Structure 1
């Protein structure tokens, strides 16, 4: 009996110890949960009780220099029936009759959406409604009907400046152009709505909610003038129709500041009818005036001449014999039309675009001065600093490179044998119009947002040549244009300094028969307000810049003078024939 009693006692003690251990472990775990893991479990509980929805900020606008919007975001609204909203047939009919006319649907179609809906999930009744319609629906105050705001990118000026502006994707992020380059500036910051949700994760109607507003981005105010841009695009369309080229481009720049007033190319794409699934459109999304390289040809002659004059190695009154051909290192270099012009001074060399004269200028400079004063000083072979996606820097062969030869100095003096972007050429020639100062080109002049206004100031990159050299060369360019017989670039009433160009297109092993016809000029000479480059690739009606690009320059420049309000500096010839009224 004693043994049995002792055994029972030990069993009771063992059970008591086990129970005590259990309760101690339970207490320890409870303490751990309530004290040490309190924050973790509280967050889990809150996560289950509260839902979070992002508020998409309205993407900022892109505007022209005068404040006219080129790209902007408007709010459209989606009409949603909240999950858990109980509607009998009579209520559904009332809702269909109220909403149908506003959302552009027959009440019967609205009923067809409402009757079979899954009440545990929200129902999208209609998307992309205008702000006006959304406001009318909100004013009705229908229980269980929610409006969800959604941003939509629109283009008030149509597809104007498409290759500069670019576009956004479905997530409202910029993909190309300024939309991509300045995405973070324009996108803003997301806000949030914190709301009570049920066990299924759906928002509780009339539940508690808390909103943290979104922060909008900053508007981009461009240097582009939509009136000038419209002129460029209209005249490019006319050039494509007339000359049937593979492409055509123009760029207008303020030489004193570097501000780009207009930039356009054809072919292009339509911002309002994007098809990102079309592989043929991909090449059109880039901005060729910034990304594409070409040999500038005779338009570069004014830059080489600037280097010669500034170095003191060349004087305006120096003369050469502009014969039809000159041999350099055993290779013939021809006059562009293979004719001999006889003795010419440096202004005549520019007027007649004498390759032989420019080879002489290159010889006077030598390779060291040519590459330092004509290439480096004017910004060729390096970024312009414009800050646009995909900008090319160009390919320059130099002494010391395995591919360089002394013939490169001769051909380089008339713009062949190296390449550059149209933007680089425009920036370089603009320095001549700006007393020798090479400016950094730019297209955004202000960023205006919730935190204030940030203004982009003009930046001088380099004093490429002296003021005196710039003014001497400007006068030479003006005299050359005035003297040139049959010059189609002249603008009646205005003094223009300019140069035409006809560049051969390089191919493997030499040059093709197709050309790039171009003209670059600025005016008025006494106070340059703008510089314009016209570039037409592979024109079919004529290969020469003076016949294809020069008349386009004249027509566009005349309109720009009018837009800027620049009065003629000399009498404008009366176009009315004598003897008529």
Structure 2
């Protein structure tokens, strides 16, 4: 071989090597672009075709409402119903952990389902067979109701295409009408409709989670090792200041009194004077939140907190407190008052019963709830002082209890 030929061979070899290197680099760049740079785009495209991605919902649980001692006023349970699609009750192609295919028989799948729900495998098969016998086009037949979350997850792991799983959320109010006017109620799927169920929904509401996994494009078989889980977020617990036992007692007493007086309705509210906490806010008529539709809409709310009414004799206690706090009188200070009097400013004031002039003390005027005597006691301090004290008592201000 002469020198010229040798140089030609080396040149061609070098050119070929360079071309091969360019091709390899191009493949590497393209692979990097597919698997790293544009991986999300390609994954989205793949998921949009066929059943590449499968999954199931993990229902979150709505938070509980409890009283001041932690006694449950409202809670949610989640149970699951299992059904079979008889048209899909047949053998299933699977992939093992090594990616090799195999067939799991319908009989074996039925046994696995039966082990979870407490039914013999042959009975599971019979449910599907009977459904088809009765209706060749059947696609749904109930198998088992009221399954737990643990059973639900075990059934998901079986990955049986003929198995239909349906979550059922149930909101319950164990104390019935006690505190119901405050607690409120929910509708279908835990939708808040009234009371603190609605007002504090941001605290109580839950967020569902999800289990996702990849399926093969050809047979729709779950690919081992591809399962991911987004946990469900349960709702928070709402702790009210209500005393359930006190509320129960007051509700019985109020019901009796409303019926005795042949009244349209009644309300009782009890507050802790040291903390300002509402320990009871009871209305009658009221509702059972387990069956709110059985109660007239006008009686489903908390009238004790939403209804406007004249404060009436409650102002007498405020008047007496103002005068005593200012030192303008003592509990034994005497005030003369008749059953009806005309005041210098033109106002006419009368008591609930006619009587001659009495020598009231401040204490006695409160006991008799004398309008005339308390009006005179109020005059012992300037008008501006009374106004200032009314403001301090919160008169004219909106309650911090934001109840509708």
Is TM-score (shorter-chain normalized) higher than 0.5? yes
- Mark the CA change 1:107 to 1:256 in structure 2 (over 3 Å): closer, same or farther: farther
Indicate the SS of the match to 1:45: helix
Indicate the SS of the match to 2:341: strand
In structure 2, the residue matched to 1:321 is 336
Displacement of 1:86 in angstroms is 3.1
Displacement of 1:304 in angstroms is 1.3
In structure 1, the residue matched to 2:13 is none
1:66 matched to 2:69: yes
1:372 matched to 2:372: no
Decide which of 176, 182, 189 is 2:194's aligned counterpart: 176
Indicate the SS of the match to 2:381: helix
Conserved? CA contact 2:62–2:205, under 8 Å: yes
User: How does 1:182-581 map onto structure 2 within 5 Å?
Assistant: 182-196=200-214, 208-275=226-293, 281-328=296-343, 329-373=345-389, 375-386=390-401, 388-390=402-404
Structure 2 CA distance, aligned partners of 1:212 and 1:155?
30
Displacement of 1:188 in angstroms is 3.3
Displacement of 1:368 in angstroms is 1.6
Deviations 1:386-406 (A, max 9, x none): 3x421xxxxxxxxxxxxxxxx
Conserved? CA contact 2:335–2:377, under 8 Å: no
Structure 1 CA distance, aligned partners of 2:329 and 2:144?
70
Structure 1 CA distance, aligned partners of 2:158 and 2:55?
23
Structure 2 CA distance, aligned partners of 1:110 and 1:274?
39
Under a length normalisation based on structure 2, what TM-score does the superposition of the two structures give?
0.71
Deviations 1:276-316 (A, max 9, x none): xx8x7322232111111211212331111111222233333
Structure 1 CA distance, aligned partners of 2:259 and 2:127?
49
- Mark the CA change 1:213 to 1:133 in structure 2 (over 3 Å): closer, same or farther: closer
Displacement of 1:332 in angstroms is 2.1
Q: Greater relative contact order: 1 or 2 (C-alpha under 8 angstroms, separation 6 or more)?
A: 2
1:156 matched to 2:174: yes
- Mark the CA change 1:78 to 1:86 in structure 2 (over 3 Å): closer, same or farther: same
In structure 2, the residue matched to 1:43 is 44
Question: Across the two proteins, how many residue pairs are aligned to each other?
Answer: 347
Displacement of 1:356 in angstroms is 0.9
Structure 2 CA distance, aligned partners of 1:61 and 1:234?
25
Displacement of 1:71 in angstroms is 1.1
Under a length normalisation based on structure 1, what TM-score does the superposition of the two structures give?
0.51
Structure 2 CA distance, aligned partners of 1:147 and 1:39?
30
Deviations 1:461-490 (A, max 9, x none): xxxxxxxxxxxxxxxxxxxxxxxxxxxxxx
Displacement of 1:172 in angstroms is 1.7
Q: Which runs of 5+ in 2 are unaligned?
A: 1-29, 92-105
Q: Which runs of 5+ in 1 are unaligned?
A: 1-29, 391-581
Structure 1 CA distance, aligned partners of 2:60 and 2:255?
37
Structure 2 CA distance, aligned partners of 1:321 and 1:149?
73
Deviations 1:214-269 (A, max 9, x none): 12222223332322222122222222332221111222232222233222111111
Indicate the SS of the match to 2:290: helix
- Mark the CA change 1:131 to 1:360 in structure 2 (over 3 Å): closer, same or farther: same
Indicate the larger mover: 363-372 or 106-115: 106-115
Deviations 1:306-348 (A, max 9, x none): 1122223333343222112222443422122132342212112
Deviations 1:137-168 (A, max 9, x none): 95997954354433211122233211111112
Structure 1 CA distance, aligned partners of 2:273 and 2:231?
43
- Mark the CA change 1:187 to 1:336 in structure 2 (over 3 Å): closer, same or farther: same
Mark the structure with the bigger radius of gyration. 2
